[in-house]
């Protein structure tokens, strides 16, 4: 029997015994059924009290912690000792019921994520030479080619090698609009192939798939404690000791005041229950676990409660430009070179064949479209934030921005081949050079994502004061994009190398908490330096998943605004919970001290408050991260 079911069975047994005891007590007084009532009460103490006592003693011995369970057991025993066994039984019954309810409620936050795991099919069709065979998914290894029929779920992370079609990726990104994918595109485990017949080459081991990583991250995140959670636990522990001491003191004082030891012990038991910090301790995890789960279902992975709490307090959002604010899909606008354009492009595409940068991809695409074969190069090396350097048949060749040109000693000659309009156009400029000589240049541009204006507007509407742009691109380009998005020149930092981005993020933190939002290309260090590093489009990128505190699996700034809203709402709910829990406790304790508060009323107030706090946290589960229209 699992822990959950045994908990459930014991709770039902406790309730049944309690009902029997109550029926015998009130329903059949005078029938001489006193022994039957005593028997029923005894079984309530066993089924309701023993598990709590067991947990309390376990915590005391293994963790040297005073558990809240202990307070309840002591209070129930004290009540029984002064002849109020029925009241003690009510306490144990309600405590058992609320503990079970809490467990089931908190379990919902976990199951919300684990359900993803069950989506993976068990068997897959793979190509073996001429044949297709069906195999167990566990046996797939990178390199296998899986055949996917329409409507089938993708069993592994891989790349399409044949066929094209729409894929529903909502399980991963939370995005319900299908994505059209062609050969070369990545597909992810647990997504659905809607109508194409696809052949997919397996690229990752099962355990390394995006879904597996997501589940692992969310599970780790749920275990990682948020600062306020740590506080409420620390507080709970000190407080539990204080409550026990206070109850003993109350017993002593009321006895001395002439209340009689029995009445004093009853009062002490009531105070013990009234002052128990159950609600305070559960109020934070109830909200945080719900928020982490609901965020994950919307394609936003928080790496822990701390990231959630920090995001809620961010004052400055600093965005990388290329691939984050913009689509990253560059279009070549202009080509200028000495001599034949075809040779120029062949050399440029040859060196860019070794780069992962979006610019490189645009150049390769253009060469491909014109049927130009890239000229091979050797020893290609990336200069982050600047470009590429390599060696070809004629010597050292490079492609990159003006800073790289300068590094290669080519500054003075820039004007020689490049007309001034190319130099000053508000477009990204890529120069191709050999040593100190510039062979030509291309300009390219990309567009803000459709989701960017709406996402930024939502952040501003939420009261985020500062929105900054950090880019390795030229100032003119950055300002053009900034103007479209309402980011002022003062908030634009251009011509940055990756290390400059780190420095600027550090500078910005002087003014308040900073979130850096990047795509993980060239900006892992800035992601790590910020108070919260947020990676976009993380579904395919291991670097981004690693370096960030928050990963947005869809390329959508609107999700960021939603995550921010959720984080703020979570901290609001935590605050509500803490205030309510402390208020309720104060009222009950005051009632116990200055008035004759009956034990059952204290019990109902206390357990009711705890359940309310949990339910208040669980409201977040019904608050999905939605897609925003820009």
- Joined together, the tokens standing for residue 488 give 């002022």
> Is residue 549 involved in binding ligand ADP (CB under 6 A)?
no
Pick the closer one to ligand ADP by CB: 386 or 562: 386
320 among known catalytic residues:
yes
Among 430, 439, 467, 560, binds ligand ADP (CB under 6 A): 430
Spatial distance between the Cα atoms of 490 and 476, rounded to a whole number of angstroms: 13
Of residues 479-538, those binding Mg ion (CB under 5 A): 521
Number of residues that bind ligand ADP (CB under 6 A): 23
Residue 326 interacting with Mg ion (CB under 5 A): no
Q: Does 359 bind ligand ADP (CB under 6 A)?
A: yes
Say what angle helices 599-618 and 85-114 make with each other, to 10 degrees.
Answer: 10
Per CB under 5 A, which region of 10-18, 52-60, 315-323, 340-348 contacts Mg ion? 315-323
Question: Which of ligand ADP, Mg ion, none binds 400 (CB below 5-8 Å, type-dependent)?
Answer: ligand ADP
For residue 385, the partner it binds in Mg ion, ligand ADP, none, with Cβ less than 5 to 8 A by kind, is: ligand ADP
Toward Mg ion, which CB reaches closer, 99 or 322? 322
- Structure token digits, residue 524: 């892992």
**Token pair recorded at residue 293:** 């789960």
Single residue of 304, 455, 472, 592 touching ligand ADP by CB under 6 A: 472
The H or E element containing residue 4 is helix 3-22
Q: Which of 69, 144, 157, 320 is catalytic?
A: 320
What span, in angstroms and rounded, lies between the C-alpha atoms of 493 and 470?
Answer: 5
Strand duo 192-193 + 165-168: pairing: antiparallel
Query: Strand runs (DSSP E) across 451-561, as ranges?
Result: 466-470, 492-493, 514-518, 532-535, 550-552
Q: Which helix (H) or strand (E) holds 391?
A: strand 387-392
The greatest distance separating any two alpha carbons of the chain, rounded to the nearest whole angstrom, comes to: 114
For the bound state, the minimum distance from the C-beta of residue 301 to ligand ADP, rounded and expressed in Å, comes to 22
Told to check if 493 binds ligand ADP by CB under 6 A, we report no
Residues in the chain: 630
Does 452 sit near ligand ADP (CB under 6 A)?
Answer: no
322 binds Mg ion (CB under 5 A): yes
> In Å, what is the CA distance from 62 to each residue of 214, 458, 521?
32, 49, 46
Stretch that binds ligand ADP, among 152-160, 174-182, 356-364, 604-612 (CB under 6 A): 356-364
Closest-by-Cβ residue to Mg ion is: 322
Nearest partner of 553 among 119, 174, 34, judged by Cα = 174
- Tell me which of 290, 322, 541, 610 binds ligand ADP, using CB under 6 A: 322
Q: Which residue has the tokens 């070809």?
A: 392
Question: Residue 270 in contact with residue 599, Cβ under 8 Å?
Answer: yes
Contact range with ligand ADP by CB under 6 A, out of 89-97, 349-357, 590-598, 616-624:
349-357
Phi and psi of 516, rounded to 5°?
Answer: -105, 130
CA 108 distance to own-chain centroid: 17
Query: Is residue 318 at the binding interface for ligand ADP, with CB under 6 A as the rule?
Result: no
Positive or negative, the Cα torsion across 106, 562, 551, 526? Answer: negative
By the rule CB under 6 A, 606 interacts with ligand ADP? no
Q: Is 320 in the site for ligand ADP (CB under 6 A)?
A: yes
Q: Does 455 bind ligand ADP (CB under 6 A)?
A: no
Let me know the angle formed at the C-alpha of 566 by 563 and 568, rounded to the nearest 5 degrees.
110
Contacts of ligand ADP in 369-428 (CB under 6 A) = 385-388, 399-401, 428
Q: Does 448 bind ligand ADP (CB under 6 A)?
A: no
How many angstroms separate the first and last alpha carbons of the chain?
A: 51
Least gap, CB of 387 to ligand ADP (angstroms): 4
CB closer to Mg ion, 21 vs 526: 526
C-alpha count within 13 angstroms, C-beta hemisphere, residue 274: 28
The smaller minimum CB distance to ligand ADP, of residues 265 and 432, is found at: 432
Does residue 347 bind ligand ADP (CB under 6 A)? no
CB nearer ligand ADP, residue 99 or residue 401: 401
What is residue 207's DSSP assignment?
G
Contacts to ligand ADP by CB under 6 A:
320-323, 352, 355, 357, 359-360, 385-388, 399-401, 428, 430, 471-473, 521-522
What residues are annotated to the active site?
A: 320
């Amino acid at each position: 029997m699992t822990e959950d079911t045994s908990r459930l069975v014991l709770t039902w047994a406790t309730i049944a015994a309690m009902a029997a005891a109550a029926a015998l007590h009130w329903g059949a007084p005078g029938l001489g059924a006193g022994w039957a009532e005593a028997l029923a009460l005894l079984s309530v103490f066993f089924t309701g009290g023993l598990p709590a006592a067991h947990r309390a003693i376990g915590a005391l011995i293994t963790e040297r912690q005073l558990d809240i369970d202990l307070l309840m057991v002591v209070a129930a025993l004290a009540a029984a000792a002064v002849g109020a066994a029925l009241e003690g039984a009510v306490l144990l019954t309600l405590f058992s019921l609320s503990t079970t309810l809490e467990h089931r409620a908190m379990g919902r936050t976990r199951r919300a994520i684990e359900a993803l795991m069950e989506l993976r099919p068990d068997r897959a069709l793979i190509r073996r030479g001429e044949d297709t065979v069906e195999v167990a998914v566990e046996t797939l290894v990178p390199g296998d080619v899986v055949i996917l029929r329409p409507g089938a779920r993708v069993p592994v992370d891989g790349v399409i090698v044949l066929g094209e079609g729409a894929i529903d990726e909502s399980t991963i990104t939370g995005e319900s609009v299908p994505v059209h994918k062609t050969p070369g595109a990545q597909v992810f485990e647990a997504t659905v192939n809607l109508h194409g017949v696809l052949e997919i080459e397996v690229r990752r081991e099962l355990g390394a798939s995006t879904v597996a990583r997501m589940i692992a991250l969310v599970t780790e995140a749920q275990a990682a404690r948020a600062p306020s959670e740590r506080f409420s636990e620390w507080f709970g522990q000190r407080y539990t000791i204080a409550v026990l001491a206070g109850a003993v003191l109350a017993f002593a004082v009321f006895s001395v005041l002439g209340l009689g030891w029995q009445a004093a012990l009853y009062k002490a038991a009531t105070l013990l229950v009234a002052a128990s910090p159950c609600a305070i301790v559960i109020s934070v995890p109830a909200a945080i676990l719900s928020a982490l789960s609901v965020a994950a279902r919307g394609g936003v992975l928080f790496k822990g409660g701390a990231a959630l709490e920090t995001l809620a307090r961010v004052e400055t959002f600093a965005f990388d430009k290329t691939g984050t604010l913009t689509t990253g899909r560059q279009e070549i606008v202009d080509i200028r070179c000495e001599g034949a354009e075809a040779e120029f492009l062949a050399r440029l595409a040859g060196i860019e064949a070794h780069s992962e940068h979006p610019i490189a991809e645009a150049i390769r695409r253009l060469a491909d479209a014109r049927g130009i074969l890239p000229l091979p190069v050797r020893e290609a090396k990336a200069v982050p934030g600047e470009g590429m350097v390599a060696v070809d048949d004629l010597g050292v060749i490079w492609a990159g921005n003006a800073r790289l040109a300068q590094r290669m000693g080519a500054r003075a000659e820039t004007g020689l081949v490049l007309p001034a309009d190319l130099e000053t156009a508000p477009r990204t400029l890529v120069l191709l050079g050999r040593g100190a000589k510039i062979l030509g240049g291309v300009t390219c541009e990309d567009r803000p994502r459709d989701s960017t204006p709406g996402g930024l507007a939502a952040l501003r509407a939420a009261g985020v004061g500062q929105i900054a742009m950090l880019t390795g691109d030229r100032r003119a380009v950055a300002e053009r994009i900034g103007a479209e998005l309402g980011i002022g020149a003062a908030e634009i930092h251009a011509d940055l190398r990756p290390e400059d981005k780190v420095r600027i993020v550090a500078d910005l933190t002087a003014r308040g908490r900073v979130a850096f939002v990047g795509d993980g290309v060239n900006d892992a260090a800035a992601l790590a330096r910020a108070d919260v590093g947020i990676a976009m489009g993380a579904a395919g990128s291991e670097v981004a998943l690693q370096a960030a505190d928050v990963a947005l699996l869809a390329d959508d700034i609107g999700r960021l605004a939603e995550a921010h809203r959720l984080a703020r709402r979570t901290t609001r709910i935590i605050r509500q919970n803490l205030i309510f829990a402390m208020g309720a406790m104060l009222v009950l304790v005051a009632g116990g001290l200055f008035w004759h508060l009956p034990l059952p009323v204290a019990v109902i107030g206390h357990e009711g408050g705890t359940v309310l706090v949990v339910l208040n946290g669980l409201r977040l589960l019904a608050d999905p991260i939605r897609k925003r229209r820009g």
